[in-house]
């Protein structure tokens, strides 16, 4: 048994955007065991964190939680293990990391542990360093570290993971099936430093750029998917899928609409690009500013990805129609289009609505069941209601059922007295291998507007780890006798940078993971074409592997849709009586019929600036621009006169095929012959280099489309046409490689 010593440490603060509010946390007490608590099947590794009262772009926030500044992530926490018998061990302190008292060069903050499949090593993120004197400004980044020797009687070893970018924040790591590391980073999509940081589409706040993969042995680093507003907390599930939370906020810039933030455009992503006014082309105006129609989207959904970066989509292609209780139609001048209201026609199987899916974990006792937190964007430090959903790979979205594991009241923030069934707020749910549930829990927050003072902050939320039990109404609730620790406190102080901040009190206990060996899941990816696309390659006499290699060598992919006139039967919020002139149509009812002739592709360019062109703020926001990547356009048939920018024709069978840049967020919309948008798709998607990505139709059909037909299985003529053009020009194309 190891004796554990908590060390005093100084923690930094984060202010609200325009306020001066700082938070500090206190002193850790030495102990080696805890009170009677849940009899857990395995050890639990977790972190302590000095509380930060501010909940905008700080370590506990829903978004922009990846930054490492002194006001973002207070120093003073540690990496811990709690053995099954209740004994505690401070792993980072034992390895020589962290400081007592006043924080300085060896101060640390720790986050996001993940256990390797063999159960004998783990990876986590740590930032090292705090100002050593008043007024000193420092820049530090979260970095990945690997730990071994945390078994009883073993010697701790912590090493910095080689090959990772050292000038970016690298957080929320997990192990891939091949032993490489999948993680979240704010590294620019293409590595160009003048694009750092990427700003989100909502608050124009620094955000992660997506999921990355690192092979420490070879140093190979690659972007798996590009997220304009950020991806969070990936896990590799038992099926080998990367499951993660992604912020979906593909809408117009509210800062530009406000007209008070100095919004402007760079004309390109180049470092020396000229500037121009803040124009936007996609999607339609926001609902708040629209006169005849508008679009607003803002949620954190569960997403999936193969481990090689292919097949990005929401979990099993689930969408708002399966999860939300209300959203508006996109056009107000078409009586066929109606608001989505749960309970109206067509009915759905899932009876429970959910907005956000945070901190997702798979249930080890039931593969394909995922626990998560539904929490508000602000106020609660990403704590809220525990929810669950069945989402195994073979489950149709129509049959994905949500379960409320704690009362719905626990999903909301209350400025006053909460409802009678409110049992607190929950974070970081951990379903364990014996069926028990552990989570970070906080009671009703301190009801006061007083966060203390900048030198002496007072946190409203104090998270502790508890086992959960079944209580009233069959809901989970905190086991009052189930604390995993006796409470870990510390007394810390740090320069912020001009004010000395001091905190003395409990630390947050966060991010528990079960320390156990488990089977290595399959390494997903490298999928062969589906039958309709395989038929197209055969018809064009093109070798699929050779075509993939051609694309991969140039950083390209292909997007294919078999019939874009067909839409899921639930979607009555966008036009659905669609027709290709002289070709296929999917017309379900009377009323307006829309002729669609082109699919316009849009690429996410990091070109929106803030603060004014003369003295711009750091970073750039992504905007959708018509596809203009010359590397992609040069391999497609030249567009006919009158073709909308970045568009390809829709074939007579309703199919579409386009060569697109890989590892860049993409969106698309069908248009009429004069370029007027008809159906705008609502999510960014990125593709892997060499990927040929196919779907049945836009807003893919779950079980039936608007006319009662099953998902499209036709050989896409548009892909045949694209391949024929490629084949006919192959000699020229390959000759270019030798010039």
Other CB atoms within 10 A of residue 705 CB: 26
Mean pLDDT, residues 354-376 taken together: 98
Q: In what order do the strands lie in the sheet with 508-514?
A: 88-90, 79-82, 44-49, 508-514
Boundary residue ending a domain (489, 514, 539): 514
Q: 3-state SS string over 171-190?
A: EEEEECCCCCEEEEECCCCC
pLDDT of residue 347 exceeding 60: yes
Residue 15 confidence (pLDDT): 27
Angle of the 717-728 helix axis to the 531-540 helix axis, nearest 10: 30
Distance, CA of 20 to CA of 232 (rounded, Å)? 28
Domain that holds residue 123: 44-243+426-514
Residue 357, in any domain of the structure: no
* Confidence tier at 1 by pLDDT (50, 70, 90): very low
Percent of residues in the chain assigned helix, strand, coil, to nearest 5: 10, 30, 60
Mean pLDDT, residues 422-444 taken together: 96
On whether both 535 and 510 belong to a single domain, the answer is no
Q: Which of 68-77, 350-359, 550-559, 699-708 has the lowest mean pLDDT?
A: 699-708
- Looking at residue 135, the DSSP 8-state letter turns out to be T
On whether both 509 and 535 belong to a single domain, the answer is no
Q: Which residue has the higher pLDDT, 336 or 122?
A: 122
On whether both 492 and 578 belong to a single domain, the answer is no
On whether both 638 and 508 belong to a single domain, the answer is no
Residue 412, in any domain of the structure: no
- Write down how long the chain is: 739
Residue 21 confidence (pLDDT): 28
Percent of the chain at pLDDT exceeding 90: 84
Distance, CA of 98 to CA of 535 (rounded, Å)? 60
Boundary residue ending a domain (514, 539, 557): 514
On whether both 129 and 99 belong to a single domain, the answer is yes
On whether both 566 and 712 belong to a single domain, the answer is yes
Residue 737 confidence (pLDDT): 52
Q: Nearest to residue 138, comparing CAs of 53, 57, 75, 199?
A: 75
Mean pLDDT, residues 397-425 taken together: 95
Boundary residue ending a domain (487, 514, 541): 514
Residue 414: Cβ-neighbour burial (10 angstroms; 0-12, 13-18, 19+): middle
- The mean predicted confidence, pLDDT, of the chain is 92
Structure tokens at 217: 């042995």
According to DSSP, the β-strands at 692-695 and 556-561 are parallel
Beta-bridge partner residues of 215: 220
On whether both 153 and 211 belong to a single domain, the answer is yes
Residue 149, in any domain of the structure: yes
Distance, CA of 680 to CA of 574 (rounded, Å)? 8
Q: How does pLDDT run across 561-571, given as a tens digit for each residue?
A: 999 999 999 99
Q: Cα torsion at 374, 377, 378, 381 (round to 10°)?
A: 50
pLDDT of residue 30 exceeding 60: no
Q: Which residues contact 261 (CB under 8 A, 6 or more apart)?
A: 204, 255, 610, 611
Q: Which residue has the higher pLDDT, 738 or 224?
A: 224
Residue 447 confidence (pLDDT): 55
pLDDT of residue 478 exceeding 80: yes
Distance, CA of 253 to CA of 280 (rounded, Å)? 9
Q: Nearest to residue 159, comparing CAs of 126, 183, 129, 137?
A: 126
Residue 359, in any domain of the structure: no
Distance, CA of 16 to CA of 325 (rounded, Å)? 32
Helix (H), strand (E) at residue 721: helix 717-728
Report yes or no: 216 and 261 within 8 Å, Cβ to Cβ: no
Residue 162: Cβ-neighbour burial (10 angstroms; 0-12, 13-18, 19+): exposed
Peptide bond into 197 cis (omega under 30): yes
Residue 311, in any domain of the structure: no
On whether both 595 and 460 belong to a single domain, the answer is no
Residue 272: Cβ-neighbour burial (10 angstroms; 0-12, 13-18, 19+): exposed
On whether both 151 and 113 belong to a single domain, the answer is yes
On whether both 668 and 569 belong to a single domain, the answer is yes
Q: How does pLDDT run across 285-299, given as a tens digit for each residue?
A: 888 887 766 788 999
Residue 14 confidence (pLDDT): 30
DSSP result, 342-396: TTSSSP-S--------EEEEE-TTSTTEEEEEE--SSSSTT-BEEEEEE--TT--
* Confidence tier at 186 by pLDDT (50, 70, 90): very high
Residue 546, in any domain of the structure: yes
Q: Which residue has the higher pLDDT, 466 or 444?
A: 466
> Number of structural domains, the chain?
2
Report yes or no: 387 and 404 within 8 Å, Cβ to Cβ: yes
* Confidence tier at 698 by pLDDT (50, 70, 90): confident
Residue 394, in any domain of the structure: no
On whether both 168 and 236 belong to a single domain, the answer is yes
On whether both 589 and 651 belong to a single domain, the answer is yes
Rg of the chain over Cα atoms, rounded to whole angstroms, equals: 26
Residue 409, in any domain of the structure: no
């Amino acid at each position: 048994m190891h004796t554990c010593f908590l060390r005093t440490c100084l923690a930094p603060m984060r202010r609200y955007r325009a306020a001066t509010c700082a938070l500090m946390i206190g002193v850790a007490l030495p102990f080696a065991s805890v009170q009677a608590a849940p009899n857990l099947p395995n050890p639990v590794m977790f972190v302590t964190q000095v509380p930060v009262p501010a909940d905008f772009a700080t370590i506990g926030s829903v978004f922009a939680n990846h930054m490492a500044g002194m006001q973002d992530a207070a120093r003073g926490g540690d990496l811990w293990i709690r053995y099954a018998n209740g004994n505690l061990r401070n792993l980072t302190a034992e390895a020589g990391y962290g400081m007592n008292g006043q924080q300085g060069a060896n101060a640390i903050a720790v986050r996001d542990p993940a256990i390797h499949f063999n159960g004998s090593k783990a990876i986590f993120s740590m930032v090292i360093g705090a100002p050593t004197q008043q007024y000193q400004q420092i820049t530090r980044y979260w970095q990945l570290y690997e730990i071994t020797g945390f078994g009883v009687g073993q010697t701790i070893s912590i090493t910095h993971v080689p090959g990772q970018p050292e000038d970016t924040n690298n957080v929320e790591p997990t192990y891939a099936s091949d032993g490489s590391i999948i993680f979240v980073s704010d590294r620019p999509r293409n590595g160009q430093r003048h694009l750092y940081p990427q700003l989100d589409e909502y608050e124009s706040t620094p955000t992660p750029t997506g999921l990355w993969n690192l092979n420490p042995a070879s140093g190979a680093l690659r972007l798996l998917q590009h997220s304009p507003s950020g991806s969070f907390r990936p896990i590799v599930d038992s099926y080998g899928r990367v499951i993660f939370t992604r912020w979906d906020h593909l809408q117009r810039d509210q800062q530009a609409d406000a007209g008070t933030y100095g919004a402007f455009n760079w004309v390109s992503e180049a470092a020396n690009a000229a500037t121009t006014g803040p124009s936007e082309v996609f999607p339609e105006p926001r609902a708040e500013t629209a006169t005849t129609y508008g679009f607003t989207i803002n949620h954190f959904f569960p997403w999936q990805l193969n481990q090689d970066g292919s097949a990005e989509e929401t979990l099993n292609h689930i969408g708002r129609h399966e999860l939300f209780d209300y959203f508006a139609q996109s056009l107000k001048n078409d009586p066929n289009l109606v608001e989505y209201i749960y309970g109206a026609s067509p009915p759905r199987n899932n009876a429970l609505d959910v907005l956000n899916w945070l901190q997702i974990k798979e249930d080890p006792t039931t593969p394909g069941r995922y626990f998560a937190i539904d929490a508000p964007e602000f106020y609660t430090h990403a704590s809220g209601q525990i929810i669950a959903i069945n989402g195994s790979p073979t489950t149709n979205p129509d049959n994905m059922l949500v379960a409320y594991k704690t009362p719905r009241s626990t999903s909301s923030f209350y400025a006053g007295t909460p409802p009678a069934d409110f049992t607190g707020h929950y974070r970081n749910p951990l379903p364990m291998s014996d069926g028990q549930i552990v989570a970070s829990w906080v009671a009703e927050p301190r009801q006061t507007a007083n966060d203390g003072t900048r030198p002496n902050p007072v946190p409203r939320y104090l998270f502790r780890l508890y086992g959960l039990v079944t209580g009233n109404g069959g809901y989970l609730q905190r086991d009052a006798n189930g604390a995993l620790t006796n409470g870990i406190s510390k007394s810390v102080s740090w320069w912020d940078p001009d004010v000395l901040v001091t905190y003395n009190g409990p630390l947050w206990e966060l991010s528990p993971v079960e320390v156990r060996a488990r089977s290595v899941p399959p390494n997903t990816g490298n999928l062969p074409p589906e039958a309709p696309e395989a038929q197209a390659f055969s018809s064009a006499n093109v070798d699929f592997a050779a075509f993939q290699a051609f694309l991969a060598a140039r950083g390209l992919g292909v997007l294919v849709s078999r019939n874009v006139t067909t839409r899921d039967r639930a979607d009555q919020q966008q036009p659905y009586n669609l027709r290709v002139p002289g070709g296929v149509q999917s017309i379900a009812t009377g009323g307006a019929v829309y002729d669609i002739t082109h699919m316009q592709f849009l690429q996410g360019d990091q070109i929106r600036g803030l603060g004014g062109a003369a003295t711009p703020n750091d970073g750039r926001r992504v905007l959708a621009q018509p596809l203009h990547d010359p590397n992609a356009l040069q391999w497609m048939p030249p567009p006919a006169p009158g073709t909308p920018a970045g568009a390809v024709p829709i074939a007579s069978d309703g199919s579409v095929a386009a060569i697109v840049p890989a590892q860049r967020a993409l969106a698309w919309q069908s248009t009429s012959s004069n370029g007027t948008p008809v159906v705008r798709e609502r999510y960014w998607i990125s593709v892997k280099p060499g990927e040929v990505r196919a779907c049945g139709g836009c807003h893919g059909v779950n079980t039936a489309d608007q006319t009662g037909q099953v998902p499209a299985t036709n050989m896409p003529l548009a892909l045949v046409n694209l391949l024929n053009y490629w084949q006919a020009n192959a000699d020229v194309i390959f000759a270019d490689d030798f010039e």
